[in-house]
Structure 1
């Protein structure tokens, strides 16, 4: 394992905390995972956009989170079972369920649009790393893109073989996974830590110090996906809005997190900048 993560470290030095916008910033007639949502998140103060990836049957990548088809299109079919022609003919729904004139966008177009403008975390790409890494290298965006995946040895081996210069972030739910990650010669630039409560070994000072000493940025999901899913010990967006920024986002920063993923980048930006 080695780290070649200057873009992330420089941004943390400048801003203290990197704010990652979950699927962009959507609402109203701005649809998630579109260039409009990503640009909106940057206008709200985000430093990084999170872009989901899905591949059609003919090998075309779209910025889309499969599983959201009913919400975004009103259909039950997985986008990955459709052709690019079929996807290109579909219009999305907005948050009110109204049909828009917006469509899912091709991943290469999104990357080109935001080249040199912000950091980009590509999620759900581990199914197709051979092709995704080829796209990143073709775009010459290795210093801008952060890939992520769960800790699976097959994926780490693949990354070691073809993506040694790609910034990578393991998604970890168990401290034992960290020992697996350290076995591989991959560029671990950040670490996404999932924890139920503050007794988790992930948020103890010794582990945070280990990551910081290695130059690896701890990432926390402050996003509140629903009322039951716990990603950050309930120090999340909903509780920050309800009970106070300092006791939630502030606590996450105090614990040592350097990247906060949120659905409300403007609020986090204002809090961090105060």
Structure 2
């Protein structure tokens, strides 16, 4: 009984720090990042969890959600930078608060102090214990654990670049570039940066070829419908190709149909899958993972102290009925 009481006291304390074993990516510098994303015939298909890989109880753009996903599979994350009224860069997808938090109105009409009073909702609309994060907090958390893709929302380019450089995050961050001019803006100011670049046809590929941005700085989002010929030409330059499944495979009714869709992606030249169903996709693609791959050296498991443990889950697992 004394042991149970001690566990209970730990659980109800203001912060619960748990030892969490995560699937981490061993990326130590910019060269590692470029090698990790350089296409090789023995490459390991990669999973990028869209907004963190949400599930019931775990909201978008939350470190708690990232840690849950990494406790199950190796992955990296797409994150959404937005600005508060007082210019703080936060991780939040929608322009409005209503759907994703217990607040209302535009995010840009609220200060950082005000949004800290809110709680995030999961995708079922349930309020969770978790708050909106500063993007800087996520950058600091991710170092030594995983990779982030920063999507384009309403943050000025110079402000986002300043934050990345201040946190020395160039070795584990990719910036989404919807247009070549966006990639050129960042590349001219910091040639170390990598991009998730939208390259959906050969004309755009040719423009990047002429731009002076090295192919080693690029992961190509080639999109759907699949473009095997374009993917093959990009791979020949050492570029990994990426698509999303949210509007396609994930719309298929059965798990079996979705699994067949995920396999088809890999067979048609896709190396990185951006998905809301990260754990499901990983379970299908794990058969394509070889310990003999030249990429296997980047994958490891490590234990971290986590302050983002879901208290209800801890109670459920540790306190007997």
Aligned twin of 1:138: 166
CA–CA distance in 2 between the matches of 1:90 and 1:115? 26
Aligned twin of 2:317: none
CA–CA distance in 2 between the matches of 1:46 and 1:80? 34
Aligned twin of 1:19: 47
Give a deviation string over 1:177-203, Cα, whole Å, max 9, x none: 3333333233542011222x35xxxx1
Does the 8 A contact of 2:103 with 2:118 survive in 1?
no
Does the 8 A contact of 1:189 with 1:215 survive in 2?
no
- Residue 41 of structure 1 and its aligned partner are, at CA, apart by 1.6
1:212 aligns with 2:235: yes
Out of 202, 222, 229, the residue aligned to residue 193 of structure 1 is: 222
Does the 8 A contact of 1:18 with 1:259 survive in 2?
yes
- Residue 54 of structure 1 and its aligned partner are, at CA, apart by 0.6
Larger radius of gyration, structure 1 or 2?
2
Out of 269, 283, 289, the residue aligned to residue 256 of structure 1 is: 269
Indicate how the Cα distance of structure 1 residues 95 and 185 shifts in structure 2: closer, same or farther if over 3 A, else same: same
Aligned twin of 2:114: 86
Out of 190, 201, 222, the residue aligned to residue 163 of structure 1 is: 190
CA–CA distance in 2 between the matches of 1:111 and 1:173? 29
Indicate how the Cα distance of structure 1 residues 156 and 113 shifts in structure 2: closer, same or farther if over 3 A, else same: closer
Does the 8 A contact of 2:83 with 2:154 survive in 1?
no
CA–CA distance in 1 between the matches of 2:178 and 2:56? 32
Q: TM-score, normalised by structure 1?
A: 0.82
Aligned twin of 2:245: 222
CA–CA distance in 2 between the matches of 1:257 and 1:68? 33
CA–CA distance in 2 between the matches of 1:245 and 1:98? 26
Between Structure 1 and Structure 2, how many residues are aligned? 254
Indicate how the Cα distance of structure 1 residues 76 and 89 shifts in structure 2: closer, same or farther if over 3 A, else same: closer
CA RMSD after TM alignment: 2.6
Aligned twin of 1:114: 142
Q: TM-score, normalised by structure 2?
A: 0.71
CA–CA distance in 1 between the matches of 2:155 and 2:205? 21
Structure 1 portions without partners, runs of 5+: 225-233
Higher relative contact order (CA 8 A, sep 6+): 2
